[in-house]
Amino acid sequence: MDRTGYLGFDMALLTSPAVVIGSMRLGEADKLVTFFTLGRGKLKGVAQGARRVKSRFGSALEPFSHVSVVLFERPPGQLARINQVDLVHSFQEVRRELETIKIGANMINLVNRLTPEAEANAKIFRLLVEGFSLLDHRLDPPLSELLFVIRLVAFCGYQPRWDRCLRCQHEILDQSISFSAGLGGAVCAACAKGVTSLLCTVSRGSLAFLRSAQQMDFVTAHRLRATSSMMAEIRKLLKSQLTYILGYPPVLAS
């Protein structure tokens, strides 16, 4: 993504693919919109007149929308001015069922919480587009959410280690293990006895799933199969990890 330079002394023009991850009323006619852009990561801006009936923005500022945005950036701490937003894909099917609305909202909430302002991350941008596309096509929404979270925490720098015990450094083979959010990965049965923080049990089936999920791309990983007990176990593990990172329990679909 090319930045075209400065207009005056304090504004720069940015044109970038983006995903709308937040939108709220501002004043009588405006909207405060949060984008995750390909070129600059998470950015917030004001869309003047966006709530008027004949607004030039139309429905392009709805959450989940994949768009092309043109905005004027301001110095750090100041809101950008949104000049133009062209809709690429609305992912409107995501909004038709409560389940996919909840899962989509969980996805954008986690991206909002885990990413800093104005830090580009092309992997997270593509993850959002793929995630909403899969929800749009109803390709196992609960599985999509788990696979999304597994990738998001990895792309934010928190990918767990599953190959070795993080205390004794012995290779994890075909054995029962636990997950320690504080240590950031697997702990063997022997070392788990000496860990005082909360641990999550990881069965052999769940361990195989997590290892495979890390190695496959997002779409291909939907071929993986997990029992209801495995899904519950993995969801508990992810909640433990996110609670450690965020400082409070996250909301994930049950």
pLDDT at 219 over 60: yes
CB-CB contact of 63 with 22 (8 Å): yes
pLDDT at 1: 38
Dist CA 129 CA 66 (whole Å): 7
> What whole-number percentage of the chain has pLDDT above 90?
81
In the structure, what pLDDT confidence band is assigned to residue 35 with cuts at 50, 70 and 90? Answer: very high
CB 107 within 8 A of CB 145: yes
Contact between residue 234 and residue 209 where contact means Cβ atoms under 8 Å apart:
yes
pLDDT of 17 higher than 90: yes
Confidence of residue 71 (pLDDT cuts 50, 70, 90): very high
pLDDT score of 8 more than 80: no
| Chain centre to alpha carbon of residue 193 | 33
Residue 5 has pLDDT above 50, yes or no: no
Rg (CA), the chain: 20
Q: How far apart are alpha carbons 27 and 49 in whole angstroms?
A: 10
Looking up tokens 């006619």 gives 29
**Confidence (pLDDT) at 2:** 40
- Residues near 249 by Cβ (< 8 Å), separated by ≥ 6? 239, 242, 243
Average pLDDT (132-137) is: 96
Please answer whether residues 214 and 159 qualify as being in contact, where contact means their C-beta atoms are separated by less than 8 angstroms. yes
What is the DSSP annotation of 81-100? EEEEEEEEE--GGGGGSHHH
- Residue 7 confidence (pLDDT): 39
pTM for the whole structure: 0.91
Spatial distance between the Cα atoms of 120 and 130, rounded to a whole number of angstroms:
17
Could you tell me which of 245, 217, 232 has the C-alpha nearest to residue 146? 232
CB atoms within 10 A of CB 174: 7
Which among 201, 150, 192, 195 has a CA at the least distance from the CA of 170?
A: 192
| pLDDT higher than 60, residue 252 | yes
How much is the pLDDT for 77? 76
- Residues 16 and 37: their CA atoms lie apart, in Å, by 6
Measured distance CA(210)–CA(103) in Å, rounded: 20
Q: Look at residue 159 in the predicted model and tell me its pLDDT.
A: 94
**CA–CA separation, 81 vs 31, rounded Å?**
11
Q: Which domains does the chain possess?
A: 6-138 (2.40.50.140), 152-246 (no CATH)
pLDDT at 4 over 80: no
**Beta-strand relationship, 11-26 and 177-180:** unpaired
pLDDT for 11 = 66
Percent of the chain past pLDDT 70, that is, above it, reads: 95
Over 60: is that where the pLDDT of 3 sits?
no
Q: pLDDT tens for residues 143-176?
A: 999 999 999 999 999 999 999 999 999 998 867 7
